[in-house]
A and B are shown apart, each in its own frame.
Chain A
Amino acid sequence: MLRTASWPRWGRTLLARGLGSRRGGSAPDQNGKVSEIKKKIQSVLPGGAWNPLYDTSYLPPEHSDVVIVGGGVIGLSVAYWLKRLEKPRGAIRVLVYSRASTVLSVGGIRQQFSVPENIQLSLFSIEFLRNINEYLAVVDDPPLDIQFNPSGYLLLASEKGAALMESNVKVQRQEGAKVCLMSPEQLRNKFPWINTEGVALASYGMEHEGWFDPWCLLQGLRRKVQSMGVLFCHGEVTRFISSSNHMETRSGEEVTLKRIHEVHVKVDHSLEYQPVECAIVINAAGAWSGQIAQLAGIGKGPPGTLQGTKLPVEPRKRYVYVWHCPQGPGLETPFVIDPSGVYFRREGLGNNYLGGCSPTEEEEPDPGNLEVDHDFFQDKVWPSLAQRVPAFETLKARSSWAGYYDYNTFDQNGVVGPHPLVINMYFATGFSGHGLQQAPAVGRAVAEMVLQGHFQTIDLSPFLFSRFYLGEKVQEHNIV
Chain B
Amino acid sequence: MEPSNDVALDIIVSNVVSVFRTRCHLNLRTIGLEGSNVIYKPEEGKVLMKLRKPRITASIWSSGKIICTGATSEEEAKLGARRLARCLQKIGFKVRFSDFKVVNVLAVCSLPFQIRLIEFTKNNRPIASYEPELHPAASYRIKNLRSTVQVFSTGSITVTGPNVQSVASAVEQIYPLLFECQKTRS
Chains A and B come from one and the same complex: no
